[in-house]
Amino acid sequence: MAKSIAVLLDDKRLGEMKGSELENKVQMMFGGQLTCFILEMDDDKAKQVMDAFHTARVDSRGFITDVPIAFNRVLFEEIAKTKSLGAEPIDGVMARVSEIQEFAAKEGEYLPVPEL
């Protein structure tokens, strides 16, 4: 069964997608309170993500959650770069997994300041 991951979007991220095909793929969650992209992945890619990040889990909806903040940042970067919600962004993230794991280890010490 395929798994999904929600990539949350704020105004800045929405602005970066303005005018692209991805603008039409924005979805609302939790009664319209959050905007996001929903990226689906096959079981092999989901297993790679789960194996790379010990905090990751699959919730009752089949969504991968509790991944590091660094993972979410890099995933959005890859989506913006590839302009895709297919396999390409996940492949890009997994190519940078050691970099993400380094940042994730620091998240245990402190949470990074949000980018405004």
Q: What is the pTM of this model?
A: 0.85
pLDDT tens digits along 63-98: 999 999 999 999 999 999 999 998 899 999 999 999
- DSSP, collapsed to helix, strand or coil, labels residue 21 as helix
3-class SS of residue 27: strand
In angstroms, rounded to a whole number, what is the distance separating the alpha carbons of residues 53 and 43? 15
Q: Count of residues for the chain?
A: 116
Residue 43: band (very low, low, confident or very high) from pLDDT cuts 50, 70, 90: very high
Nearest CA among 81, 54, 79 for reference residue 66: 54
Helix (H) or strand (E) holding 29: strand 27-29
Measured CA to CA, the distance from residue 26 to residue 9 in angstroms comes to 9
Pairwise CA distance, residues 15 & 42, whole Å: 29
Give per-residue pLDDT as tens, 11-41. 899 888 888 888 889 999 888 888 999 999 9
